[in-house]
Amino acid sequence: MSIIAPQHRVVLIRLTKSYPISDESSPEFRGQLYAATSKWWKIAASRTVQGPGAPEFAFAVHRGVVKAVYKIESWRRSPDSTRFGFSGTSSSELDGIYGGLDVSQYFPNGASNPVRFVNCSSAAATAVTPDELVGAPQLSEVDRVELITELARKLDQEPLAHIMLGGRELFHTNLLAWFCREMPQQASDVFDALVPIPDSADTKPQGYIRRVDRERGHLDLSIWWDDHRTPMVIENKVFSLPDPDQLDGYSARILNDTELDRPTQIILSLQDPQWPEDTFDTTDRVPGGASWVRVSYGRLSELILHALEGVSVSYEVEIIRHYAEMIKVLQELADAVTVRSEDEPVLLTDSLAGAHIEQRLLWSLAKLRARSVSQIIQSDLDACSFDCTVDSGFSNGTPVITAFHYLQPNRAKGTSVGWQLQGREFRLCAVLPGLAGASDADAQSRLDWGKSNCQHFDFSVVDPALNSAALQEYPKGDAASGAFNKFNPDFIYRSKKLDSLTVAQLLHAARLAARSRSTE
């Protein structure tokens, strides 16, 4: 049974070590409790923007009990800009309702994330707020291009990078497993430092890695120590991010493996998924599941280079040193292509035209860029309460960004309409699974549907944002006459070929398209 009423959007903040040690009846306790609760927390920037995904109240929770309730008035960044804190005042009204109540049901057994959002709608995880996008970029576009080009040049000079671009996750899995076997002492130091030591750990590790398995139960790496430490499972996500269903599946595989007894679960990724406190809990999704902790490849690089300090030079040491330097550059590249200003071009290739960057690397960076853009658009539409699903992909060497609104509740089979940007081609499109098929009759039925629903293909809705009113629509003719391009088995569209497009323009177009759907 839910304790927190659905009209109250809340963030629960569980305090352990930071809980004030002074007596709760003392004058200084309330100030100390507010200071501990209000800062600093790793949450997505999109959670700090007013809208259905942002909390209105913060509950200070200790040992499962609500100790104070604060009305959130504003959010601010920490001095290092990596976390957020809120400014607020005590809420006597909600404190009278919830103060002293046990809310431990919102923190399932095994949940390690101290931050829980309640009655806040899902929000796309972004690293910057809309106001920050409008502000001055951290780097000029010219400087950013120079930075990306120089980092790509460094990467091109590293032989391991060329092997990595051919193997992706498998390359990292194999090399890290080799590191564990050849240098167990240094590898133990690295992997043990990936996550903070739990409060209950009162024994300093004494041993080293004794065993490492690759692809055990389709899990990238499984590591065991020869001392008291619990096993560790590592999943590599280099140019992609795991979705919740993937994480649930990984957790289920771990639960079915009797040798992996409550392991530490790590996701290595270049792109920050913006999980609260870098943690994704599967505890309330998979019975007996546990939390996944995201660690950047940049952090892995720091730990490896530190572990190698003072170690005698050898072939093995130099290979791992080269690997650490390579993933450091790779992390810097991933950070450089993340959107920081709405004045930036959507397409990475617009900025990097003429730059000499290895094609596979350019494609991988373009994927990261497209995902960053799609997250920003999704967050913006979420904040406006528009029912629209934004996603990104990569097809035929070109990044794809899509935004669809479903016309039926059953999203698995229902008709969806929206837009798609692939390269410079902007499409107004529909996906018609109920009319799917490869025959001429199936194709004609989809064209007939488009003709009868031509309002979904009206470019005049988005032309003001895209500055595309004077551009030719394809195919020639119009939707009312049944003129459409198509991809079998269920996709029809009309399109325009655009010049360069900024993030601000695409955001504006997305809002206009979503608003037009909401008024239909």
- What percent of the chain has pLDDT above 70? 96
**pLDDT tens string 346-358:** 988 777 877 788 8
Q: Worst-scoring range by mean pLDDT, 162-166, 233-237, 472-476?
A: 162-166
Most confident listed range (70-79, 124-133, 168-177): 70-79
The token pair at 449 is 């549907």
* SS3 category, 308: coil
The token pair at 72 is 């959130």
The predicted model scores a pTM of 0.89
- Identify each DSSP E strand in 42-153 by its residue range: 57-62, 65-77, 84-90, 115-118
**pLDDT tens string 317-346:** 999 999 999 999 999 999 999 998 999 999
Strand order across the beta sheet in which 10-14 lies? 84-90, 65-77, 57-62, 10-14, 115-118
Q: Is 436 exposed, middle or buried (0-12, 13-18, 19+ CB in 10 A)?
A: middle
The token pair at 39 is 């800062």
**CB 347 within 8 Å of CB 145:** no
Q: b/e per residue, 51-87, with b = 16+ CB within 10 A?
A: bebbbbbbbbbbeeebbbbbbbeebeeeeeeeebbbe
Reference 38, options 11, 8, 64, 17; nearest CA is: 11
Distance CA 93, CA 57 (A): 11
Look up residue 418 and give its amino acid. G
**pLDDT tens string 115-126:** 999 999 887 888
What residue segments make up the domains of the chain, in order of their start?
10-123, 141-335, 359-518
Q: What is the CA 251 to chain-centroid distance, rounded?
A: 19
Report the run of H or E that residue 514 belongs to, with start and end: helix 503-518
Q: Worst-scoring range by mean pLDDT, 11-25, 133-147, 297-311, 428-442?
A: 133-147
pLDDT band at residue 497 under the 50/70/90 scheme: very high
